[in-house]
Structure 1
Amino acid sequence: MKTFIRLFFRTLRTVLGPVMLLKESLTRPKGIVRPQAAQKVVDQQCQSLVLYQYQTCPFCIKVRQEISRLSLNIQRIDAQHEGPDRQALLKGGGQTKVPCLKITDKAGKTQWLYDSEKIIAYLRGRFASV
């Protein structure tokens, strides 16, 4: 029974994944336009941010849509499959839950922010008025 359930959800992800990605690309919001100097400052600030995500996770898609809306250049790492990126997420944040925003301050201290709503609130608070 367990095998059947896993097979069902794997098939569901295989079928729905491309549909979700197509919808994301078709509904991608237009990014806000900043003066070149302001965008350069934002881009520099985004170098301290990394988004750990799964490509077809609906919550990750929601965060990526907000990143596009805010015109942010944030590095994205796919942590779905076993490997060094997933291990870095587990070691640093303590769980392999996504989306997760890794925030590194100027002193090198790292904060791991989970939950799409909290990530979106953080990004809006930091970048919406810049």
Structure 2
Amino acid sequence: MKLIRIVLGKAILLGDFVFRPSGVKRSVQDQQNADNKAQDLTLYQFEACPFCVKVRREMKRQSISVELKDARRDSNAREELKIGGGKVKVPCLKITKDGTDTWMYESNDIVQYLKQEFA
């Protein structure tokens, strides 16, 4: 079973690399505004999780750089996710606004949020 997961994970990452979307083109000022807004976001993810890949692809489409934390390999990130979000489930987008953290699970909800905020 572990071998199957490893092979599928590598296939997912290869597919993501080969078919990576291009990002939107913005003016320098608009891109700087998007970058500033993205500083308040953190994505807790597993590298080869297909739902996490879906979210990362949307980040690429929106030309934003979000801090990524691998909750599988990084025990500190895993603990942050468990304490802050209440469960270890990925993808999870941590949104910090006015000193308050909101934890958003479900890839479709995260993609919709990114489209709404950055498109």
Say whether the fold is shared (TM-score over 0.5): yes
Letter in 1 for 2:65: N
Structure 1 runs (4+) deviating above 2 angstroms are: none
Partner of 1:90 in structure 2? 82
Q: Please, which runs of 5 or more residues in structure 2 have no aligned partner?
A: none
User: What SS does the corresponding residue of 2:104 show, helix, strand or coil?
Assistant: strand
Q: State the 1:17 CA deviation.
A: 1.4
Counterpart in the other structure of 2:24: 32
SS of 2:47's equivalent in the other structure is: coil
**DSSP 3-state at the match of 1:71:** coil
Choose 58-67 or 10-19, whichever is displaced more.
10-19
Query: What letter matches 2:54 in structure 1?
Result: K
Does structure 1 residue 22 correspond to structure 2 residue 10?
Answer: no
With normalisation by structure 2, the TM-score equals 0.97
- Say yes or no: does 1:119 pair with 2:110: yes
How many residue pairs get aligned? The number is 119
| Deviation for aligned residue 1:81 | 3.4
Q: Structure 1: 5+ residue runs without aligned partners?
A: 1-7
What is residue 91 of structure 2 aligned with on the other side? 99
TM-score normalised per structure 1:
0.89
In our comparison, the structure showing a higher alpha carbon Rg is 1
Deviation readout 1:17-75 (Å, 9 max, x if unpaired): 11111100111100000000100010011000000000000000000111100101111
- Selected match of 1:110 from 101, 115, 119: 101
Partner Cα separation in structure 2 for residue 17 and residue 127 of structure 1: 29
Percent pairwise identity:
43
